[in-house]
């Protein structure tokens, strides 16, 4: 028998031996076997995106009564758009109130028209047009917003439109003069308080962050 054939037989025998050893050690999977305890995986990077909001959590209860319809509506808004927070919204609403009220009193809605729903813009324009037709000129000085508070909230899960009503108390000096310069409304020397409840609306989850004024009272 040649040396090469002997070597082949020896290598073959070693291979068979190794295969048998592996089968004895590893076994075979026949039927159900209890799962082996897996090694602890390394922590994965956190997925980008909002953290789920717990019911009536965060700043909602700072502004709405627990269990109230307003609290439930605001919570649903946060579930739909986790970046929404009531506190910052009220701050933005206060700024919008000051801008819109001042623009209305001065009779020029150019800079605030994007924040007005069509029906509100139309109503404001009608009043402004009437003043102009009668030659009324307005002098206005806004002194500040003394109160900003949540008045109510509703949310439509089908359209994803949220509406938030805000109660404002503003202070301003405003006087309306006729063509002859006579004061026909207001007082150019005395401040007055303006109390309003304005409702702002927006489709939650959309890219446009701007709310629109949809109703005044």
Helices marked H in 43-117: 69-80, 86-106
CB neighbour list of residue 167: distance below 8 Å, 6 or more residues apart: 147, 148, 149, 150, 151, 195, 196, 197
Which pLDDT score is estimated for 1?
52
Domains and CATH numbers, the chain: 63-216 (3.10.450.240)
- Confirm whether pTM is higher than 0.85: no
pLDDT digits (tens, 9 = 90+) for 111-160: 999 999 999 999 999 999 999 999 999 899 999 999 999 999 999 999 99
Q: Count how many residues are written for the chain.
A: 217
**Residue 129 C-alpha from the chain's centroid:** 35
CA dist list (Å): 32 to 22, 28, 35, 92, 214: 21, 11, 9, 61, 64
pLDDT digits (tens, 9 = 90+) for 145-200: 999 999 999 999 999 999 999 999 999 999 999 988 899 989 999 999 999 999 99
pLDDT digits (tens, 9 = 90+) for 20-32: 543 443 333 343 3
Q: What sign does the dihedral 155-213-59-151 (CA atoms) show?
A: negative
> Phi and psi dihedrals of 46, rounded to 5?
-70, 140
pLDDT digits (tens, 9 = 90+) for 67-90: 999 999 999 999 999 999 999 999
């Amino acid at each position: 028998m040649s040396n090469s054939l002997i070597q082949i037989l020896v290598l073959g025998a070693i291979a068979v031996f190794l295969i048998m050893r592996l089968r004895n050690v590893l076994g075979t999977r026949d039927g159900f076997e209890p799962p082996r305890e897996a090694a602890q995986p390394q922590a994965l990077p956190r997925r980008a995106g909002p953290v789920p909001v717990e019911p009536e959590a965060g700043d909602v209860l700072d502004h709405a009564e627990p269990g109230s319809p307003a609290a439930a509506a605001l919570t649903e808004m946060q579930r739909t758009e986790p970046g929404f927070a009531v506190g910052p919204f009220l701050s933005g609403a206060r700024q919008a109130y000051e801008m819109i009220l001042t623009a209305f009193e001065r009779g020029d809605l150019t800079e605030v028209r994007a924040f007005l729903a069509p029906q509100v813009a139309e109503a404001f324009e009608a009043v402004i047009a009437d003043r102009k037709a009668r030659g009324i000129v307005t002098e206005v000085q806004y002194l500040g917003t003394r109160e900003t508070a949540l008045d109510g909230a509703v949310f439509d899960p089908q359209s994803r439109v949220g509406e938030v009503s805000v109660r404002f108390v503003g202070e301003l000096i405003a006087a309306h003069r006729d063509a002859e310069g006579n004061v026909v409304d207001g007082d150019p020397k005395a401040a007055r308080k303006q109390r309003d409840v304005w409702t702002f609306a927006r489709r939650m989850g959309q890219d446009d962050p701007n709310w629109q004024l949809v109703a005044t009272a």
